[in-house]
Structure 1
Amino acid sequence: MPLISGLLVGLIGLAFVIGGVAGWFTVKSELVDEQVTVADDAERFADEQVDGPLGAYYQADIVKQRVLESTDGKTYAELGQDDPAREVALQGSTVRSALMTSVTSFGVSALAFGAGVAAVIAGVGLASRRTS
Structure 2
Amino acid sequence: MGRFQALSEELAELLDDAAPEFDRPGDVLRFYFSGLRDLREEIRGIHGRCDRQIEDLAASAPVEFPGVDADKLRRLARRRVALPDRHEWAVLVDEPDMPHIPYIVLRLLVLHADWREVATVIYKCYLCSELVLRHTVGRPDWDGTC
- Alignment TM-score, normalising by the size of structure 1: 0.34
> What TM-score results when the alignment is normalised by the length of structure 2?
0.32
Q: Which has the higher contact order (CA 8 A, sep 6+)?
A: 1
